[in-house]
Amino acid sequence: MMRADLLAAAAALLGAGAWAQAPDPGTPAVLAAIHAQLGQDGFGPNAQYAIAFSDLNDDHHPEAVVHLAGPNFCGSGGCTTFVLTETEAGWLPLGRITVSRLPIYRLPVHHGGWFDLGVYVSGGGARPGVRALRYEGTKYRSNPSKGEVVWRLPSEATLLMPATSEFIPIGQ
C-alpha cells in the first residue's frame, strides 16, 4: 500500500477528536500500519491507543510503541502493544507484544542493536513486575511474561509510557 493510501486510511480511522489530540504527526501513519497488520477485522469497537516515540536502535530516528486497549486487545493478562520502525516503505512492525501492561520502559541494554523494553506484566497467572523484552534478530519477543525479571530498574531506563498514559479513542 502506498504511503498516501496509508495516511488516507488512518484519517478515516481516526475520529476528529483523536486526530486533534494526536501527539505526533506520524501517529496516523503508525495507526494505518497497525490496521494493515490486523487485517479485515481492524481495530474493532471501543479500541483506544496510547503512543510513544523513542529511538530504540540509536539511528537517531524514533520508533513507535503503541499500546492498544479494548475488547479485541485485552484479556486477563493484559493488552497488546505494537513496536514499529519507519522505513522508506512506511512503518514496519518490529513486534506484536501480548499480555502487556503499562508502564513500558526503554532499558539501557541492547540485543541485536536494539534496546530492550521493560514491560509490566500481571494477571493471567504471571508474577507481577517488569520483564525485559529482547529484540531477537527481526522482532521483539511476543510474550513479556517469559522475559527476564527486572528486579530494579536501572537509573538509565527511560519511561516511554507511564501507567497513567492518556488513551485516545480510535474512530470507527
| Three-state SS letters, 33-59 | HHHHHHHHHCCCCCCEEEEEEECCCCC
pLDDT tens across 120-138, in order? 998 777 788 999 999 999 9
Q: What's the structural domain count of the chain?
A: 1
- Strand duo 114-123 + 90-111: pairing: antiparallel
In percent, the amount of the chain with pLDDT more than 90 equals: 69
pLDDT of 40? 81
Please, what is the Cα angle at 151 between 149 and 154, to 5 degrees?
A: 110
Question: Global pTM?
Answer: 0.84
pLDDT of 159? 97
> DSSP H helical segments within the chain, as ranges?
3-13, 16-21, 27-38
Range of the domain at 81: 3-169
